[in-house]
Chains A and B, each alone.
Chain A
């Protein structure tokens, strides 16, 4: 199981773009990169998943360099409601999800 490292916390002002980087140096060929978001007192919510290059959906973008040893979740123009914990997970499609401590994003008005 590829180990992931991400910042413990980040602060941002409303309206800014936020980039959260996750390191996964020992990512395997069959591994995908998945990001989940968790609000206080709620279960995690799937944000985005990718294998290589760039993936974009209505919520976020995921940038994955060619070596795939890291990835960056980009949240455009954050609002107060984006305050949450963001988890980076790396694994193949058969490996049970293991959530680390994630990155606690605080958006300030």
Chain B
């Protein structure tokens, strides 16, 4: 059973397009996260949702908008894609809203903007 799943695994698109990445967790966790791992391999948090409510919103362009239809899903919409958005995006979840709690990561979505 896949605990945290993401779709698609790879996403190649042109600058200016709008795209979405979906994330689902079947662990019954209350909190979900989106991370971005850039070409230098730094992995940094973007958003955190607890029970469908936004609790962390790091300095991220407002072209990025998370949407949580229920606590098992946290989707990431990106508008007007730019070259610098190319990265691997990871979804994660944890039982509580404590960032220090064990987090379970998905397999990642490699986004390439041409």
- Residues on A facing B (Cβ under 8 Å): 32, 34, 41-46, 49, 85, 87, 91-102
| Chain A: minimal CB distance from B95 (Å) | 12
Label chain A's interface by main secondary structure. loop
- Tell me the residues in window 1-16 of chain B with beta carbons closer than 8 Å to chain A beta carbons: 4
- Residues on B facing A (Cβ under 8 Å): 4, 37, 40-45, 48, 56, 58, 90, 92, 98-108
A41, A43, A91, A100: the one contacting B99 at CB < 8 Å is: A91
A43:B107 contact, CB within 8 angstroms: yes
CB contacts (< 8 Å) of A32 on chain B: these are 100
B58:A93 contact, CB within 8 angstroms: no
The total of Cβ contacts below 8 Å across the A-B interface reads: 59
CB contacts (< 8 Å) of B43 on chain A: these are 44, 87, 98-99
Chain B residue at minimum C-beta to C-beta distance from A47: B102
The answer to whether residues A34 and B100 also contact, given A43-B90, A44-B43, A98-B45 and a CB cut-off of 8 A, is yes
B42:A101 contact, CB within 8 angstroms: yes
